[in-house]
Amino acid sequence: MLATRRLLVAAALACLPATTTFAQQAHITLDWAPHRAGGTLVPFMANVISPEVTDQGMVTFRLEAPRAQEVQLSAGTIAAALGSPTSTWPFTKGADGTWTLTIGPVPQNLYVYKFLIDGVSVVDPGNTIGGFGNQPGYSTLVVHGRGPAYYDARPVPHGTITRHVYHSPVLDGERELFVYTPPGYDRTKAYPVLYLLGGSGELAGGWWTDGRAGFIADNLIAEGRAVPMIIVMPNNQVVHRTDPKHTELTFRLFDQELRRAIMPLVEAQYRTVADRRSRALAGLSMGGRHTQLVGFKALDLFASFGVLSAGDPESEKTTPAFLADPDINTKVDYLLVGLGTKEDTPTNRGVVFHQILEKHRVAHDYAVGGQGAHDWATWRWLLHERLLPNLFRPRK
């Protein structure tokens, strides 16, 4: 019976036009359009194709749940891209018990979403692309364009991502970090290093999975827009976010973790340029605050910084020495303060921090863009457009 079924499927496929797309979440390649409409392959163990994206950006979600009373899409990232006042959309139930929702057109990008089934938040069971962090799992929608985006795998030389598990003497436990080495990494040469931090909802793998940092670096290096560098992606969660002493402890503990565990591991196992001007510290959200409240006090270690979707409005109290240093613009090679398009409001902490830097005449690159809010659409854009291209360049 199974052999007969395979023959029937093969015969049916042979009769279809050569232009038909069969890439629907097949994971045969690192496809830049895995959700493209026209695929006929239902993901393994799934009942329906979901999501499905047309070349015009219309997105259809499906869920087979005949006993459900209500199904909604929950997607703040899509809402930000669409400028929608709501971040939830209701599905319509069909006679066969399949729920369907079509929205759009949605701009090209990657979007995090979940389903709400009778009020319970769940991942899309038909989608094989998703992730998790310091939070429950989520699904990822890939809205494709006319070709691979800047964050997609392209036919260029690729670097390597290595996972390291190490014992932390600071936190007395086993921890992990990921290291990107550039294409053609040569152990006889020394490379500059970017330490790239996540936010309070992220873990060590966030920047290379959701952030696509490896592919972005590959593409920029291939274009000659970024210098070959090592990128270290540690877990900067050192105190649980809900701990009442989180703010009191996190900056001191991360400073110790960085100096006593993370940097010694990297410098022992990789050929790095052991000079502050060849080191950078950057992070998103909570990682941006770590960059400020740890990095700005560590000018013995770093000369470049990236503060993404973050900014301490109390900087004049928390980092007064940095702001008041008359030589700060000769000590800092590059400082990025970046926000998402939808974050650019007068009271935003990053906007306020930018104003404080201007008041104290601290030179910095202020960037707003990416068509996102407090999400990966913003952080990928900032990494690609501003941070990586400007690091470790000769001083002007």
Q: How far apart are CA 240 and CA 262, in angstroms?
A: 19
Start-end ranges of CATH 3.40.50.1820 in the chain? 160-390
Query: Each residue of 145-195: pLDDT tens digit?
Result: 999 999 999 999 999 999 999 999 999 999 999 999 999 999 999 999 999
pTM of the model as a whole: 0.91
Closest CA to 157 of 215, 225, 226: 215
Distance of CA 362 to the CA centre of its chain: 28
Q: Quote the pLDDT of residue 132.
A: 86
Please check whether residue 204 is in contact with residue 178, taking contact to mean a CB–CB distance below 8 angstroms: yes
Fold of 18-143: Immunoglobulin-like (2.60.40)
Q: Is the pLDDT of residue 21 over 90?
A: no
Query: Each residue of 329-362: pLDDT tens digit?
Result: 999 999 999 999 999 999 999 999 999 999 999 9
Q: How far apart are CA 355 and CA 313, in angstroms?
A: 9
Query: Each residue of 211-221: pLDDT tens digit?
Result: 999 999 999 99
Query: Each residue of 235-269: pLDDT tens digit?
Result: 999 988 778 887 889 999 999 999 999 999 999 99
Please check whether residue 230 is in contact with residue 191, taking contact to mean a CB–CB distance below 8 angstroms: yes
Q: How far apart are CA 130 and CA 196, in angstroms?
A: 21
Q: How far is CA 51 from CA 165, 190, 377, 390, in A?
A: 35, 44, 19, 37
Start-end ranges of CATH 2.60.40.10 in the chain? 18-143
Residues making up the chain, counted from first to last:
396
Fold of 160-390: Rossmann fold (3.40.50)
Greater pLDDT, 291 or 131: 291
Q: Quote the pLDDT of residue 396.
A: 64
